[in-house]
Amino acid sequence: MTIASIGTAGSVGQAASITTGLTFGAAIPVGTFLVLLIAKDNANTTDVATTEVSSIVNTGSVNTWSRIGGYCNGQGSASAGAVIDVWGCFCNDLLQSGWGVSISFTSGTPDSAITMWQFTPTPGYIIVPSLTTPLATDGAAAASMLIAPPSIAPRLYVRAEACEDTVAAFTATTGWTKFTDQASGGTGMVVGGEWIIANAKNKTSTPTGTNAGKDRASVTFWLDEVPAPQALAFGLCF
């Protein structure tokens, strides 16, 4: 496995809107794998594994986005908690500078914040995501989360988090790299995340920051590379 980081693909905050989007500041080449983290005000009012994204499209290209997973911290009423949603896209088509991604939500005019990172997979391999147990944290700092695949292998580990706050203050776990954290503006929603590429059976995510005492929703997952001929043995893959 030689999956590698290219770097951030940008971040943006949006107050009180049913849509948001991001314009690419540089071209993203064919063969790139994009990981998109979306944080937004909640519409669902219970803690539930759900999506509140109705569509994601790349302007100017035919690349397809697929949902990896997400979670809602409902807090009993709309806009009182937070939703995190994670999507991935393998670029079979060039994304030129000035093009972008457009996101629509299912309802309302939520505050939202998004951040995106670029990776380069091994040629001839397919990326297979696996989710772990999500977490809703009520009025507290980010909790430790264990990501525990069944075997030792080199892979990409990711944590994504939505936090009901106005200040972007995500500090990555030692040895991890953080996504560009981003605040929405408006009444407040922050997206944060971190990743590490490691040859390990498990990794523990323990980010810190100044967002203590806030409601948040977190998901963790790992990404394995599988030779392309084996891809049909799996469900979601890129």
227 in any annotated domain: yes
pLDDT surpasses 80 at 1:
no
95 in any annotated domain: yes
114 in any annotated domain: yes
Count of domains forming the chain = 1
236 in any annotated domain: no
Closest CA to 216 of 124, 145, 149: 145
Q: What is the pTM of this model?
A: 0.96
Q: What angle do CA 38, 194, 190 make, to 5 degrees?
A: 40
Domain that includes residue 90, residue range: 4-231
CA-to-CA distance for 184 and 177, rounded, in angstroms? 21
pLDDT for res 150: 93
The more confidently predicted of residues 234 and 75 is 75
Q: Tell me the pLDDT band of 62, cut-offs 50, 70 and 90.
A: confident
pLDDT surpasses 70 at 22:
yes
188 in any annotated domain: yes
CA-to-CA distance for 177 and 171, rounded, in angstroms? 9
pLDDT for res 124: 84
237 in any annotated domain: no
Alpha-carbon dihedral angle through residues 13, 142, 89, 149, given to the nearest 10 degrees: 180
CB 225 within 8 A of CB 130: no
**Segment 214-232 mean pLDDT:** 85
The two tokens of residue 6 are 């290219």
CB 9 within 8 A of CB 95: no
CA-to-CA distance for 81 and 99, rounded, in angstroms? 32
238 in any annotated domain: no
Burial string for 31-41 (b: 16+ CB within 10 Å, else e) reads ebbbbbbbbbb
**Segment 143-161 mean pLDDT:** 95
pLDDT for res 229: 67
pLDDT for res 69: 96
